[in-house]
Structure 1
Amino acid sequence: MPDNLPMEFNGFPRLSGHQLLSLEGPDAAAFAHAQFSSDVTALPVRHWQWSAWLSAKGRTIAVFQLIRVDVDTVLLVLADGDADAIASQLQRFVFRRKVRIAVRNDLIVAGSFTAPDAASGAAIAVHGETLELDAGSDALPRTLRIAPAHADIGTDVAGVELAWRQSDLRYGVPRLDVPQREQWTPQQLGLDRLNGYSVKKGCYPGQEIVARTHFLGKAKRALQLLRVADGVVSGAQVQQNGAAIGTLASVAGDLALAVLPLEMAGDPLSVDGIAAVPLPLLEGLAR
């Protein structure tokens, strides 16, 4: 595929693989703060940030965009789906908190490879019932819109899912298929590049592992974007000089994010016996 991907689409094609999960109530922000890796209570209203939900062992279950819609509402944009399963698991931790967890099938997510009309950086814009997010940078403009299912946006367009997934990988946003969940720490997935976790806030699942890795400097692997052959799958081994040195965590067509050693030889890499070429990650998507 050419280096000028993603392709251009007219309007705002629907990203049908994205799902939405809302947390509503007086304790919504506090509950999200206690469960997720980012500093939710410090996030201003009508702003968004990258976040993750981790296992108790500090392994990443899901990476998502977290929006502070208003004082009592937090919205999660789950690019890799599984909203029903995540909602069910989160419900176990509600206890007496005043928070309602709901999968938002009444809303759709649509995306465009154009600059937003009004949103900028972490600040969202509200157009009637539609939320607009700046999901790109000058290097690769992107806009997300979240709207009621009846809204006049979000037509289905062939190829948009792959193009969006590839653009995520170019930015270093991990897209985790089911076999790759609970395999990687946030550091291994490069979530520090996205400001996707905090080592200063209070406890959350996996926080101790994340903090220990951060402060003791024990991270030995990092994310690398690779050009690979079409048809490779996540979980495939990256080889160098005949030995496996890493694993593909995310794949989209001929692009992949691999977890590789921070220190390794400069010799050629391969996946499934075919050359894999390192590519630079795009900057500018930290929020």
Structure 2
Amino acid sequence: MSALSPTLPESWQSHLREVGGQIDDSQRWQFKASTENRCRLTPLSHLSVIEIAGPDTARFLQGQTSAQVDLANGDIAPPTAFCTPKGRMIANAQIVRIETDRYWLLLNSSVAEALRLHLAKFAVFYKTDLNHRNDLVTMGVSGEAAESTLSDCSIKTPRDEWFMARTDTTVVLRHPHPQPRFVLIDTAEPMIEHWQTLNTQGATPTSERFWQLLDIQAGLVWVDESTRENWLPQMINWEALAGISFKKGCYTGQEVVARAHFRGQVKKRLMRLTINGNSHPEIGAIVRDDNDKRMGEVVSLAPSNEGSELLAVLNVREEMPSMTVDGQPVTLQPLPYIVERRDPESLAS
């Protein structure tokens, strides 16, 4: 993302600069404010929206996505995956029903165009249109007081993770984490107003790196351009996050995904690690065991108070060995969920 990225409205970027935001070396927004505040505001430039609309949209999506599309009912916004015929993820996303026959897909910005082009090959057979909504912006609100602060500002909040709410034109999604955290989506002007109102109520700006840390703590990774078509959904624990329906009919890649599940063929898994010290590994750094054999690679990284927190896709072993990254010892940490199948249909109950 350049200083004035064409993928973000200029009014939104100007606002972020006015409140102290700067672009860091990783092309993400950063602020000097403390992350210890009980309510935090974070611009989420790494997330964007594809809109799919038309009378055949639900039927079209049902044949392409790992979720039951009818679960996206305006109350639930289920996680999902879009795969190649070989079951490798082009993107993982969240399905948001805006109105009858109009849906939003929230996903990593770097794969949005690739997914749009992939889906367009099939959309020509349906009455549906695809549009990368570059006019929309996303903002995170997180922390112990996030829910109460949003409520004080008359912004409705979803009751559980992967649920949604609406306040006027603003969509609010609740994402997994031990602390409350929400993603707000709207055009620039309403989002600037929300930012200002929430800031008046005590919410402070926080760097995008911090939101990435929250994703890591939640055991959540988004497929980006560097990892597109690398993984089966189960390799990032997507079925444990209710992202795969094993009860629906066919979709692209379904046979491979289902076979891997029912035959126990998933040999790699997303795991959470920590590393102490001031030296931070790079994304893609190799994780090695105590015999210097490759275990996998780092797929997400964020600084923490003690060093770094990581997510890595690693080979599964009955007993995990001692591991290192760039010669530094890493510690395996528990995930906040059980790595087993969680049917997305259970969200409805």
Using structure 2 for the length normalisation, give the TM-score: 0.73
**What is the CA–CA distance in structure 2 between the aligned matches of 1:7 and 1:92, rounded to whole Å?**
46
SS in 2 for 1:32: helix
1:201 counterpart = 2:248 = yes
**How far off its partner does 1:53 sit?**
1.2
**CA, structure 1 residues 10+42, in 2 after alignment: closer, same or farther (shift >3 Å)?**
closer
Segment of structure 1 superposing worse, 209-218 or 171-180: 171-180
SS in 1 for 2:118: helix
**What is the CA–CA distance in structure 2 between the aligned matches of 1:13 and 1:42, rounded to whole Å?**
28
**What is the CA–CA distance in structure 2 between the aligned matches of 1:85 and 1:190, rounded to whole Å?**
23
* Aligned pairs (5 A) from 1:120-199: 120-121=159-160, 122-137=162-177, 139-151=178-190, 152-154=193-195, 159-199=206-246
Aligned residue pairs total: 282
**How far off its partner does 1:96 sit?**
2.8
**What is the CA–CA distance in structure 1 between the aligned matches of 2:224 and 2:130, rounded to whole Å?**
23
**What is the CA–CA distance in structure 2 between the aligned matches of 1:163 and 1:13, rounded to whole Å?**
8
**What is the CA–CA distance in structure 1 between the aligned matches of 2:53 and 2:104, rounded to whole Å?**
9
**What is the CA–CA distance in structure 1 between the aligned matches of 2:226 and 2:50, rounded to whole Å?**
22
CA RMSD of aligned residues (A): 2.6
Unaligned runs of 5+ in 1: none
Amino acid at match of 1:240: D
* 2:295 aligned to which of 235, 245, 250: 245
**CA, structure 1 residues 250+181, in 2 after alignment: closer, same or farther (shift >3 Å)?**
farther
SS in 1 for 2:110: coil
Note if contact 1:6-1:167 (Cα within 8 Å) is conserved in structure 2. no
**How far off its partner does 1:264 sit?**
4.3
**How far off its partner does 1:147 sit?**
1.5
SS in 1 for 2:77: strand
Note if contact 2:40-2:206 (Cα within 8 Å) is conserved in structure 1. no
Amino acid at match of 1:134: R
* Aligned counterpart, 1:232: 281
Amino acid at match of 2:159: S
SS in 2 for 1:255: strand
**How far off its partner does 1:46 sit?**
3.4
**CA, structure 1 residues 107+179, in 2 after alignment: closer, same or farther (shift >3 Å)?**
closer
**How far off its partner does 1:58 sit?**
0.8
* 2:95 aligned to which of 66, 88, 98: 66
* Aligned counterpart, 1:23: 52
**What is the CA–CA distance in structure 2 between the aligned matches of 1:101 and 1:173, rounded to whole Å?**
26
Q: After superposition, give the CA deviation of every residue in 1:123-158 in whole Å (9 maximum; x if it has no partner).
A: 321111111112235x22101111122111358x87
SS in 2 for 1:150: helix
SS in 2 for 1:231: coil
**What is the CA–CA distance in structure 2 between the aligned matches of 1:182 and 1:82, rounded to whole Å?**
11
**CA, structure 1 residues 231+105, in 2 after alignment: closer, same or farther (shift >3 Å)?**
same
Amino acid at match of 1:149: A
1:86 counterpart = 2:136 = no
Q: Which has the higher helix share?
A: 2
**CA, structure 1 residues 90+146, in 2 after alignment: closer, same or farther (shift >3 Å)?**
same
Using structure 1 for the length normalisation, give the TM-score: 0.88
SS in 1 for 2:70: coil
**What is the CA–CA distance in structure 1 between the aligned matches of 2:179 and 2:35, rounded to whole Å?**
9
**How far off its partner does 1:24 sit?**
0.8
Amino acid at match of 2:259: R
Q: State, as a whole percentage, how many aligned pairs show the same letter.
A: 30
**What is the CA–CA distance in structure 2 between the aligned matches of 1:154 and 1:52, rounded to whole Å?**
31
